[in-house]
Amino acid sequence: MLPIITEEISTEVFSEVFQDVQAWRKSMVQYLKEENPEINTAILEVAKYDESIDLKAVALGAYLSYRLIEIATENEGMSIED
């Protein structure tokens, strides 16, 4: 079961992301390459699948979702693998 993403978590992550969206996205690419390379590969493959969609926008949404779930999981004292 996925953890609950509270308004506080959303606010925290959004403030982090919107300081510099491009830099944050690039840092998440590097973070996930080390932390969870399979997820990173999946995000990039899906984003490249259709040429009519914006690769960076798809990746940003996926990385944002990952980060929200990761923080909510940490706050609930669960492991991201559970």
Q: Where are the domains of the chain?
A: 7-75
Which position has the token pair 């990952």?
Answer: 66
Instruction: Specify the pLDDT at position 54.
Output: 85
Q: Are 29 and 59 in contact (CB under 8 A)?
A: yes
> With bands split at pLDDT 50, 70 and 90, how would you rate the model's confidence at 21?
very high
Distance in angstroms (rounded) separating the CA atoms of residues 82 and 80: 6
Q: What amino acid is encoded at 28 in this protein?
A: M
The dihedral sign for the CA sequence 56, 58, 59, 63: positive
Instruction: Specify the pLDDT at position 81.
Output: 52
Instruction: Specify the pLDDT at position 23.
Output: 95
Condensed to tens digits (0 to 9), the pLDDT of residues 48-66 reads 777 777 888 888 999 999 9
Instruction: Specify the pLDDT at position 55.
Output: 84
